[in-house]
Structure 1
Amino acid sequence: MQKLLYWIAPFYTALIAYGSLSSSTVPSIDVENIDKAYHAGAYFLMMVVWYLFFYHRYLERQVHFEYNLGMILSQWSRTIAVAASIFSLVIGGLLELGQGFISQNRTMDGYDMLANGTGIIIAVLIMRVISLMKSPR
């Protein structure tokens, strides 16, 4: 599990970068602004995997510490959540700039950044609620 936490965030980010900058298309659904839901969902997950990555890296340095996913979810770290949120938002911003200046088939859109931020905020809120529910009283 610990090796998975180490590699999933960079792999997922590379997957999002490829999807954002390549000419590949997502299956179309006849719903207005569905791409914003895709963005929110993608960055929701990005924030979660980077939170787990940063928390794992922090705990890895605690020599005496044994941990698992349940413990990470029950012990909320505001600092790590802020770092993962900012990191995810910066990645989203850089990819939007890449769509505007590098990609020939994609366009930069400020509303995509807003959707990215919305997904990140929802992830933070849900993870905080989970930690409150799982933490011992």
Structure 2
Amino acid sequence: MITRLLLALKKWALPILVLYALALTIGSLAHIGDIPSLGSSFDDKIYHVIAYFFFTVLVYNSYKKRKVAYAILISAICVIIYGIVIEVLQQVLTSYRTLDIYDAFANALGVVFAALIIRFKNKLKLK
């Protein structure tokens, strides 16, 4: 069952990535209500880490499907740049969101976690 799920994810890598990117962009720029509380003072940063972790995995899967060299590095760079652009757009395009450097750091942390896990998983497969 897991194998079929992984094959389906590879087949649909690009459409899933596009939908996720669209949802992430809208969620980042739209005026949304309160997000569910996780019970900490930095819930927002946890959500950023999780969102960008999954975004990195999706970008990596899309690149890997196309056999792009250095897919992990390219994915990480693209997603970090995307996160920075979104933070700038929040400041420029909205009156209800602001550029937050800590959000950008949380985004990058999610990217790094995803890249490390992907790298570790790939090393295990090689052996």
TM-score range, shorter chain: 0.7 to 0.9
Aligned position for 2:4? none
- Given the two structures, how large is their TM-score scaled by the length of structure 1? 0.79
Question: SS of the residue aligned with 1:100?
Answer: helix
How far is the alpha carbon of 1:133 from its aligned partner?
Answer: 1.9
Deviation, structure 1 residue 58: 2.7
Q: Among 112, 120, 126, which residue is 1:129 paired with? A: 120
Deviation at 1:134, TM superposition (A): 2.4
The reply on whether 1:94 has 2:103 as its aligned counterpart is no
Contact 2:72 2:118 in 1 (8 A): no
Q: Report the CA distance between 1:132 and its aligned residue.
A: 1.8
Partners of 1:102 and 1:81 in 2: CA distance:
31
Offset at 1:29?
3.7
The DSSP-based 3-state class of the residue aligned with 1:27 is: coil
Identity %: 30
Partners of 1:102 and 1:30 in 2: CA distance: 30
How many residues are matched? 118
The alignment yields a C-alpha RMSD, in angstroms, of: 1.5
Matches within 5 A, 1:1-137: 1=8, 2-25=10-33, 26-58=35-67, 79-135=70-126, 137=127
Bigger Rg, which one: 1
The amino acid of 2:46's aligned partner reads A
Determine the C-alpha separation between the residues in 2 that align with 1:28 and 1:111. Answer: 18
Structure 2 residues without counterparts, runs of 5 or longer = 1-7
- State the alpha-carbon separation in 1 of the partners of residues 93 and 12 from structure 2: 31
TM-score by length of 2: 0.85
Bigger RCO (CA 8 Å, 6+ sep): 1
